Amino acid sequence: MEDRILEIMREVFDDATVDTSCSQSNCEKWDSLHHLTLISDLEDEFDVEFEPEEIAQMRDFNAVRDVICSKS
């Protein structure tokens, strides 16, 4: 699952170097707009729906993974 998340993040941020340390504070491309694209793509990929509170939490790779884990 981590790989699938990373793959989507790399695609959304158009950056092949994205790894598990990626976060909103260290990734310049991860602004509010790319965040929305990321959320929308993750929802489709994992067939889940995130709540706005969860979307606000998902600010780094680990948080993204944790929220998705909590859904499956």
Partner 1 sequence: MKYFIFRNQTIEQFFGDKNCAYSGYDDITLVPAEAENYIWFYQMPVNSDSRLLSREINSFAEKLELVATSINPAKPFIVFTLESLFTLRLTGDSLQVRISIDGFNRKAIELSKVRPNVKVVDLSEFTLQYSADQLFNWKFYFISQTVLNPKLAKDFKIWWEHIERELALKRKKCLVLDLDNTLWGGILGEDGPAGIQLGGDYPGKAFTYWQAALLELGKNGVILAVCSKNNEADVFDAWQRNPYMVLKKEHFAAFRINWQDKATNIQELASELNIGLDSMVFVDDNPTERELVRQLLPMVEVPEFPQRPYELMSFFKSLVEHYFQVYSVTSEDMKKTEQYKQNAQRRAAQASFTDMDDYLRSLEMSLHIMSVDKFNLSRLAQMTQKTNQFNLTTKRYVESDLRQMLADGCRIYCVSVSDRFGDNGITGEIILRPMDATTIEIDSLLLSCRILGKGIETAFINTILNLLADDGVKTVKASYIKTAKNAQVEDFYDRMGFTVTGVVDDIKHYQLQLADYRENKDYYLIKID
Residues of this chain that bind partner 1 (CB under 8 A): 28, 32-33, 36-37, 39-40, 43-44, 49, 52, 55-56
Stated as kind and residue range, the H or E segment containing 65 is: helix 61-71
**In the complex, minimum distance from the CB of residue 31 to partner 1, in angstroms, rounded to a whole number:** 8
**In the complex, minimum distance from the CB of residue 32 to partner 1, in angstroms, rounded to a whole number:** 7
For the chain, percent helix, then strand, then coil, each to nearest 5?
Answer: 60, 5, 35
Between 19 and 28, CB nearer to partner 1: 28
